[in-house]
């Protein structure tokens, strides 16, 4: 089969990981092979690389708590530094050296920083907030970690936020839906959100900086800020200030369905308009509305883009159904311009 | 260790007199210091010696803070690192085995403590309840390689068997790694063969992991057993660390708010003797409230005798503030803190009672009077024959004034015979009695009233500014009342300068004169 990404290879992916240093893996649902993706990355990196691994919340359980299916634990190499909850130490079979006992608490005990003195399986249960995650990154770096991998929990896409990690890998797969088309559409939707481009024009960026929460910029570069507490309660009186001269609509907060509906009822879809949001994790639009938005003359831009390195696909669902791997990959690749591969098979083995 | 009893104030009183404010200023760095803070309380008169020692210690610590700032800076940096090992010590004492995180925490604490001990010895202090002993013996259990690194693992020194198991496990893991590589990179192995082989290796590894865990169990038991004999040392270590931390906080508090070391006397058995003396005392809490309104606290001096001390004066004269500040400082001295004054002579009392009915309380009138009576009875019942302190603010203010005055007089009469220092503020003017010391707030006595009235007339339309202006002219000091001290008539003065019709003022003055004559005839 011919690959659509001639420039992509494991070597390239490795290069990207080494460049971005802090990588999160987020799953589009349960059992999409997120843990397998993490193991794949660990294997991809050289055993001499100083790797640190943690997760957000509890994950990597021995058994999937929803379906009761066996779930791979994370196999890490000797020398890896880990941040995990104290009670998870018992469920890991590596020999360890305790490096630090932090004050970060979780339901499974405080977060302990350990060095693996042997290879082995670990139950990865990390901190539960982004603030705590940042603290853990700091500790990792103090202990000389060069690459930090974060196993993001399911549906916690905010932890792909570019403010916390530098790049992201998305895991998707059959377990999302028994309907082939639905998997394609959902993955495409999500990938599009994660790859919303950054606002490039520095001139406009400077104007955007002046807006505290919500505001507009008109074609004559006139900036109007709306004094609101949150992006969720934009009064109609402010919407009246938006007219045919408005070129930018800036929301420094959540961009929701209701906000988009208000815009639809205020501005013509044929009027050129750039909607600027802080980053992709702030988008809370359903798929229909997002697609509707794509059909207008409007475009979405983020202040800080998430770097989506690749998408991994698991064509098998733990419920027992399976899709044709080639078809699934083909269809996704036709629609999404990010490297996509089946992590169980490996990218190179496809050729 | 002295036995401390809880501060005898209700939450509201703790707030208004400024006790809470003082406690909020104290933030010990260690969990051990925080326990001492939480247990702050009154020293009993039997523990007078300990109390005196505590003041001595604070004095040493203040000097040390002033002379060795750089060592103290380092010391604070180490203290903040200390974590609570008391749960670990409890585990040891109940014969539970510690795990690797416990061993780590203990080792970390010992290493930090070693540095604290080193810094403390440089301060060259000799404080009785801060005694450190050498930790190297217990530390060497957790640091067999003497690296002094704050990390922990099951070291090879603990067990040859563990070392062998881990070596074997490692070589097996290496074999597994090579096998994987053969499969994925060199593609030399067939899938079924690969899986068989991998499964075989995994099973072998599982066995080794079990052996490793069993051996670690033995090491945990051994180490826990060895450490058990040092629990006593660890406990005395954390006691000293807590005392050091808490003493530092007390010394810093004294420096921050210019506290002084109180002179602690035995409670005098003689009546009329000056028993309680506070020179230029202040109240950091009320000062902070005043500072927020760009005003400053007038430092106050009091000399109270055993028996009854009456303070009279008009509203706005700061009588309540005087009462709160005296009580705050007495309680601080009894709890082992420096007091906020230039100098202080304080007798060691057995109880501290205060009757402050809330003048902001909506349920005024009979109910507040009723509450005062109930509280007063309670104090009599509990402490009638003990030496101690009673503070009453405006007794019977909420009841019928003529009866209220008589009941107040009666209480003053009765209190003269008790072994207490009673301080009462009142509106009622009471004729001097032999065992009663009378004080008056200076108030507007020395103010040029016509000048003040002139200033007030300029801002007539703004009542809040008028009040502020009067406050500015108010002299909050108190002076003893002698037979020839004139009646201050501050209420009349205030009414006058606030512009009450002169005819009414004239009537009031006449009534007062008549009243005085009648009193004399009585």
The chain-wide mean pLDDT, for chain B, equals 88
Indicate the DSSP class of residue B97: P
Residues 230-249, chain A, touching B (beta carbon < 8 A): none
Q: Which residue of A has its CA nearest to B100?
A: A98
Q: Is A351 part of a structural domain of the chain?
A: no
With 80 as the cut, is the pLDDT of residue B139 above it? yes
Whether residue A191 is found in the same domain as residue A151: yes
Count of Cβ atoms closer than 10 Å to residue A132 Cβ:
20
pLDDT band of A59, cuts 50, 70, 90: very low
pLDDT tens, residue by residue, B384-425: 888 999 999 888 777 787 888 888 889 999 998 888 999 998
Domain that includes residue A184, residue range? 10-196+306-342
Q: Is A3 part of a structural domain of the chain?
A: no
pLDDT at A154 (0 to 100): 59
With 60 as the cut, is the pLDDT of residue B459 above it? yes
Whether residue A173 is found in the same domain as residue A216: no
Whether residue A53 is found in the same domain as residue A186: yes
pLDDT at A21 (0 to 100): 93
Does any CB of chain B come closer than 8 Å to the CB of residue A46?
no
Domain count for chain A: 2
pLDDT band of A123, cuts 50, 70, 90: confident
Q: Which pair of structure tokens corresponds to residue B495?
A: 């009414």
**C-beta atoms of A98 and B101 within 8 A:** yes
pLDDT at B451 (0 to 100): 80
Whether residue A278 is found in the same domain as residue A314: no
pLDDT band of A60, cuts 50, 70, 90: very low
Q: Is A1 part of a structural domain of the chain?
A: no
**C-beta atoms of B153 and A89 within 8 A:** no
pLDDT band of B29, cuts 50, 70, 90: very high
Q: How far apart are CA B288 and CA B306, in angstroms?
A: 32
pLDDT at B63 (0 to 100): 96
* Range picked from A45-49, A152-156, B22-26 for highest mean pLDDT: B22-26
Q: How far apart are CA B59 and CA B124, in angstroms?
A: 14
Q: Is A350 part of a structural domain of the chain?
A: no
Does any CB of chain B come closer than 8 Å to the CB of residue A101?
yes
Closest residue to B153, CB basis, from A43, A98, A101:
A98
Q: Tell me the β-bridge partners of A225.
A: A215
Closest by CA position to B117, among listed B139, B137, B138, B132? B132
Closest by CA position to A314, among listed A24, A28, A4, A7? A28
Whether residue A192 is found in the same domain as residue A232: no
pLDDT tens, residue by residue, A252-300: 988 989 889 988 888 888 999 999 999 888 888 999 999 999 999 999 9
Q: Which pair of structure tokens corresponds to residue B69?
A: 């700032």
Residues in A closer than 8 angstroms to B204, CB to CB, are none
- Rounded to the nearest angstrom, the gap between the alpha carbon of residue B95 and the centroid of all alpha carbons in its chain is 37
pLDDT at A343 (0 to 100): 80
In this structure, of B7-11, B105-109, B460-464, B470-474, the range with the lowest mean pLDDT score is B460-464
* Range picked from A102-106, B55-59, B321-325 for highest mean pLDDT: B55-59
Whether residue A139 is found in the same domain as residue A214: no
Whether residue A66 is found in the same domain as residue A174: yes
Of all residues in chain B, the percent with pLDDT exceeding 90 is 54
Of all residues in chain B, the percent with pLDDT exceeding 70 is 91
A95 in Cβ contact with A115 (< 8 Å): no
**C-beta atoms of B169 and A78 within 8 A:** no
Residues in B closer than 8 angstroms to A95, CB to CB, are 153-154, 166, 169, 212
With 50 as the cut, is the pLDDT of residue A2 above it? no
Whether residue A29 is found in the same domain as residue A131: yes
With 80 as the cut, is the pLDDT of residue B494 above it? no
pLDDT band of B288, cuts 50, 70, 90: very high
More confident residue, B180 or B112: B112
The chain-wide mean pLDDT, for chain A, equals 85
In this structure, of A105-114, B324-333, B375-384, B486-495, the range with the lowest mean pLDDT score is B486-495
pLDDT at A61 (0 to 100): 43
CATH number of A24's domain: 3.40.50
Nearest chain A Cα distance for residue B240, angstroms:
24
Whether residue A326 is found in the same domain as residue A184: yes
Q: Is A92 part of a structural domain of the chain?
A: yes
* Range picked from A39-48, A69-78, B324-333 for highest mean pLDDT: B324-333
pLDDT at A153 (0 to 100): 62
Whether residue A322 is found in the same domain as residue A181: yes
Closest residue to B151, CB basis, from A47, A95, A97:
A97
pLDDT at B127 (0 to 100): 94
Whether residue A89 is found in the same domain as residue A167: yes
Q: Is A40 part of a structural domain of the chain?
A: yes
State the alpha helices, DSSP H only, in B144-190.
Answer: 160-181
Q: Is A15 part of a structural domain of the chain?
A: yes
The burial class, CB within 10 Å (0-12 / 13-18 / 19+), for B243 is buried
CATH number of A207's domain: 3.40.140
Count of Cβ atoms closer than 10 Å to residue A105 Cβ:
14
More confident residue, B377 or B475: B377
Residues in A closer than 8 angstroms to B108, CB to CB, are 101
Q: Is A347 part of a structural domain of the chain?
A: no
Closest residue to B173, CB basis, from A86, A119, A346:
A119
Q: Which residue of A has its CA nearest to B175?
A: A119
With 90 as the cut, is the pLDDT of residue A67 above it? no
Whether residue A269 is found in the same domain as residue A323: no
Residues in B closer than 8 angstroms to A101, CB to CB, are 83, 101, 104-105, 108
Q: Which pair of structure tokens corresponds to residue B420?
A: 């207490």
Q: Which residue of A has its CA nearest to B149?
A: A99
With 60 as the cut, is the pLDDT of residue A16 above it? yes
């Amino acid at each position: 089969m011919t690959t659509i990404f001639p420039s992509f290879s494991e070597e390239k992916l490795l290069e990207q990981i080494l460049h971005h240093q802090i990588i999160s893996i987020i799953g589009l649902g349960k059992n999409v092979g997120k843990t397998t993706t993490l193991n794949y990355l660990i294997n991809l990196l050289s055993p001499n690389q100083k790797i640190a691994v943690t997760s957000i919340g509890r994950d990597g359980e021995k058994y999937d708590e929803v379906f009761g299916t066996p779930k791979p634990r994370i196999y890490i190499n000797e020398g890896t530094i880990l941040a995990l909850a104290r009670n998870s130490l018992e469920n890991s079979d590596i020999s360890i050296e305790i490096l630090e006992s932090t004050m970060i608490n979780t339901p499974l005990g405080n977060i302990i920083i350990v060095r693996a003195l042997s290879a082995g399986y670990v139950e990865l249960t990390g901190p539960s907030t982004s603030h705590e995650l940042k603290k853990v990154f700091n500790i990792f770096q103090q202990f000389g970690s060069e690459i930090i991998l974060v196993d993001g929990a399911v549906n916690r896409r905010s932890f792909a936020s570019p403010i916390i990690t530098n790049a992201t890998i998305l895991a998707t797969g059959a377990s999302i839906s028994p309907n082939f088309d639905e998997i394609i559409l959902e993955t495409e939707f999500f990938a599009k959100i994660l790859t919303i481009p950054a606002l490039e024009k520095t001139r406009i960026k400077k104007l955007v900086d002046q807006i505290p929460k919500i505001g507009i910029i008109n074609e004559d570069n006139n900036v109007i800020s709306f004094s609101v507490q949150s992006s969720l309660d934009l009064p109609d009186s402010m919407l009246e200030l938006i007219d045919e001269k408005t070129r930018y609509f800036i929301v420094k907060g959540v961009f929701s369905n209701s906000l988009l509906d208000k815009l639809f009822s205020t501005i013509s879809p044929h009027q050129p308009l750039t909607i600027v949001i802080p980053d992709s994790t702030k988008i809370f639009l359903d798929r229909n509305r997002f697609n509707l938005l794509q059909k207008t003359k409007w475009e979405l831009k983020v202040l800080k883009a998430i770097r989506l390195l690749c998408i991994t696909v698991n064509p098998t669902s733990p419920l027992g159904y399976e899709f044709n791997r080639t078809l699934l990959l083909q269809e996704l690749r036709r629609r999404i311009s990010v490297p996509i591969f089946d992590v169980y098979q490996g990218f190179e083995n496809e050729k | 260790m002295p036995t401390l009893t809880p501060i005898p104030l209700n939450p509201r009183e703790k707030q208004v007199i400024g006790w809470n404010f003082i406690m909020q200023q104290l933030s010990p760095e260690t969990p051990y210091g925080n326990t001492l803070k939480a247990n702050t309380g009154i020293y009993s008169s039997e523990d007078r010696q300990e109390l005196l020692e505590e003041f001595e210690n604070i004095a040493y610590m203040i000097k040390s803070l002033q002379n060795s700032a750089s060592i103290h800076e380092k010391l604070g940096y180490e203290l903040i690192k200390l974590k609570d090992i008391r749960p670990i010590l409890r585990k040891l004492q109940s014969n539970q085995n510690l795990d690797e995180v416990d061993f780590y925490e203990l080792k970390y604490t010992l290493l930090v403590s070693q540095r604290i001990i080193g810094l403390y010895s440089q301060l060259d202090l000799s404080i009785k309840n801060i005694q450190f002993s050498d930790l190297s013996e217990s530390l060497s259990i957790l640091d067999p390689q003497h690296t002094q690194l704050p990390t922990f693992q099951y070291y090879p020194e603990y067990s040859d068997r563990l070392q062998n198991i881990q070596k074997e496990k490692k070589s097996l893991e290496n074999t597994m790694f090579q096998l994987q590589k053969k499969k994925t990179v060199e593609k030399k192995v067939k899938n079924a063969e690969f899986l068989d082989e991998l499964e075989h290796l995994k099973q072998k590894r599982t066995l080794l992991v079990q052996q490793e865990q069993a051996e670690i169990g033995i090491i945990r038991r051994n180490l826990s057993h060895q450490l058990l004999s040092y629990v006593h040392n660890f406990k005395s270590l954390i006691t000293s660390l807590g005392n050091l931390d808490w003493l530092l906080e007390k010394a810093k508090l004294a420096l921050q708010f210019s506290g002084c070391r109180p002179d602690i006397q035995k409670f005098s058995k003689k009546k009329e003797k000056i028993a309680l003396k506070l020179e230029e005392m202040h109240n950091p809490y009320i000062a902070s409230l005043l500072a927020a309104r760009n005003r400053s606290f007038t430092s106050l001096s009091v000399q109270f005798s055993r028996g009854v001390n009456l303070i009279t004066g008009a509203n706005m004269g700061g009588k309540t503030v005087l009462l709160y500040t005296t009580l705050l400082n007495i309680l601080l001295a009894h709890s082992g803190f420096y007091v906020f004054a230039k100098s202080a002579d304080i007798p060691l009392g057995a109880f501290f009672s205060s009757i402050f009915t809330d003048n902001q309380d909506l349920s005024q009138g009979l109910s507040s009077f009723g509450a005062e009576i109930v509280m007063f009875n309670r104090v009599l019942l509990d402490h009638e024959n003990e030496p101690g302190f009673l503070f009453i603010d405006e007794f019977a203010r909420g009841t019928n004034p003529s009866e209220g005055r008589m009941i107040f007089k009666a209480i003053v009469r009765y209190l003269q015979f008790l072994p207490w220092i009673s301080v009462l503020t009142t509106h009622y003017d009471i004729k001097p009695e032999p065992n009663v010391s009378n004080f008056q707030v200076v108030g507007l006595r020395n103010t040029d009233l016509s000048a003040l009235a002139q200033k007030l007339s300029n801002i007539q339309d703004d009542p809040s500014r008028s009040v502020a202006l009067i406050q500015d002219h108010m002299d909050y000091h108190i002076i003893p009342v002698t037979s020839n001290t004139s009646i201050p008539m501050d209420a009349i003065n205030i009414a006058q300068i606030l512009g009450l019709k002169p005819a009414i003022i004239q009537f009031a003055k006449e009534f007062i004169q008549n009243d005085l004559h009648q009193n004399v005839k009585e």
